Structure 1
């Protein structure tokens, strides 16, 4: 059994790398066209072509996972009424690299192609940076609190960067993804951050509030996603690639974009406090949902799979 898992892990890793490499090369080729001809009439269809390549990439990954995972159950609930012709802000807890694969698999046929906020340093990674730029992934440059204390003139630059990144999404239906905790959950990080939650790190308001401030009126909804791997909590990504994943739980709740959620998180202290209260309440409910998911000792006898191929 162990030998079989190792073989599946090696084969899946190679195939995932091959799929990613081929997709990246194709997207990089299209990126050169965007760079040479920086006009909307050319860039928009090129971006659509890049998004299609991402759609094919995620579809192949989904097929590969399903074929090599004998006992995998997709337990997906919620999210009715979503459309690929609308704009969404997707927020989620973050456990593993597997989260990205799962989000693409679950939502690829339900909402516009997901765009993740990524660190600006990744722009300079060969192939990866160019590919991410070609599909309009928003690059972020974050400043630490200590840096801002030394350079107060940089305060507010995060918001300006977010607005510039989001401006390109206004003409094409888009899903902007934000992992609100800012990093992957571990017990060590949970203790270091003195998290008040049993299964989550404290939520960070910056990325969510900046994105709503830049595009709030255009978003048709906030897609609140809760991710869990009840049988594979230690190494979700390794077990997913190795064919050992037992059950992937995804809970989807679509929230309205209330006017009270759009404001200035930097200058308006009253808004910042209210936004913090809203996000904390959302995180408390998510933690309770995770407690119920992890507290289930019996396997669900029949799970309705809603992930479309």
Structure 2
């Protein structure tokens, strides 16, 4: 089995070419921060942000749920093709209001490159490193209305979160049980359950343009987790290939491309509260579109050991290049 050239050198060259094509000159997105309390009074900005986020969630969910009820009562593909775009449009407006506000109150500029040349009416697989809850808002701001609504894999327990859990269910976000390694060793069938859940979700996504979002690290990066994993990367955890491989197997022929996204916070990883208070600091985002290898679309990750090995190598080369990209972006702290 052969794969396209995805060596770190080739990936860096493609990323540089993408940056040059998309963003001539200095691409830093400078904006005048919305005048909100700062310094020791930043908690007021945070409180306003949380209230606005809650009000926005309730407002858009009141529009979302009646449409979702129609889909529940008429679970036919023909109905889904008409109803899902309406649900996604409501959710996109919801994302616009939230992500726009959080970006508006930040004092530091955001440096976003590589998000041009995308198509809203198409399918994408988005793969990104994960450091903070702020990552989701950064990605939503960077890609909103450029590609379809981002839909990502969630822990099963999150379906019980009031209001928002029901909204995720209505929008067909896939819920995964994410069994531990010891549990999977005792009962390997549990791993196949999550894979089947992912395949069912991807089958629904194939009906209307969708962006499937994957954090392949499986959890947020911390130095403690990196050390416990003995991760070979400086700024990343080891990637978990299973979810990405299942999405490619289920929908690979649908995806226009895979968007490889890298987020870095040169002055430190912000928490959600930092973002809400307008003190997330500088944010750097780098994106590049990678072709989906046709071989990945039909291969069985769980049963084909040779493919599994090659897939790990392919993803590992991307992860090495991503780690080097984060290192370059983080080096700005000393400049």
TM over 0.5: yes
Q: What is aligned with 1:184?
A: 220
1:121 aligns with 2:157: yes
Return closer, same or farther for 1:2/1:43 CA change in 2, 3 Å cut-off.
same
Distance 1:154 1:11 in 2: 43
Contact 1:28 1:127 (8 Å CA) reproduced: no
Residue 18 of structure 1 pairs with residue 55 of structure 2: yes
Residue aligned with 2:205, SS: coil
Find out whether 1:237 has 2:272 as its counterpart.
yes
Partner of 1:65: 102
CA deviations 1:43-85 (Å, max 9, x no partner) are 333322221121111211233224423x231211113321112
Query: Can you give the 5+ residue segments of structure 2 that lack an aligned partner in the other structure?
Result: 1-37
Distance 1:167 1:152 in 2: 23
Superimposed CA distance per residue, residues 164-186 of structure 1 (whole angstroms, 9 cap, x where no aligned partner): 11001112111000001000011
Q: Name the SS for the 1:89 alignment partner.
A: strand
Alignment of structure 1 residues 154-165 onto 2, 5 Å: 154-165=190-201
| Structure 1 residue 249 corresponds to structure 2 residue 288 | no
Shift of 1:155: 4.8
Instruction: Decide which moves more: 1-10 or 274-283.
Output: 1-10
Cα deviation 1:65-114 (Å, max 9, x = unaligned)? 24423x23121111332111211110000011111111111111211111
Mapped to 1, the partners of 2:226 and 2:164 lie a distance apart of 30
Give, in whole Å, the separation in 2 of the partners of 1:188 and 1:214.
Answer: 34
Give the SS at the match of 1:168.
Answer: helix
How far apart, CA to CA, are the structure 1 residues paired with 2:254 and 2:103? 35
**Aligned position for 2:145:** 109
Q: Distance in 1 between matches of 2:130 and 2:100?
A: 23
- Residues 26/228 of structure 1: CA separation in 2 closer, same or farther (3 Å cut): same
The residue aligned with 1:52 is 89
- Distance change (3 Å), C-alpha of 1:244 and 1:170: same
| Number of residue pairs the alignment of both structures matches | 297
Tell me the equivalent position of 1:95.
Answer: 131
Residues 116 and 178 in structure 1, CA contact (< 8 A), matched pair in contact too: yes
Matches within 5 A, 1:158-173: 158-173=194-209
SS in 1 for 2:55: helix
Conservation of the 8 A alpha-carbon contact between 2:100 and 2:141: no
* 1:245 CA drift (Å): 2.6
Q: Does 1:286 find its partner at 2:322?
A: yes
Which residue in the other structure is 1:193 paired with? 229
> Which stretch of structure 1 is more off in the superposition, 288-297 or 29-38?
29-38
Whether the 8 Å CA contact 1:193–1:202 is kept in 2: the answer is yes
Normalised TM-score (structure 2): 0.83
Query: 2:331 — aligned with what?
Result: 295
2:8 paired residue number: none
Q: Does residue 2 of structure 1 match 2:18? A: no
Instruction: Return the alpha-carbon distance in structure 2 between the equivalents of residues 66 and 156 of structure 1.
Output: 39
Deviations 1:5-35, CA, capped at 9 Å, x for gaps? 1211111111112112222333223222222
Query: Does the residue aligned with 1:75 lie in a helix, a strand or coil?
Result: strand
Structure 1 unpaired stretches of 5+: 300-309
What is the Cα deviation at residue 117 of structure 1? Answer: 0.9
Is the partner of 1:32 in helix, strand or coil?
helix
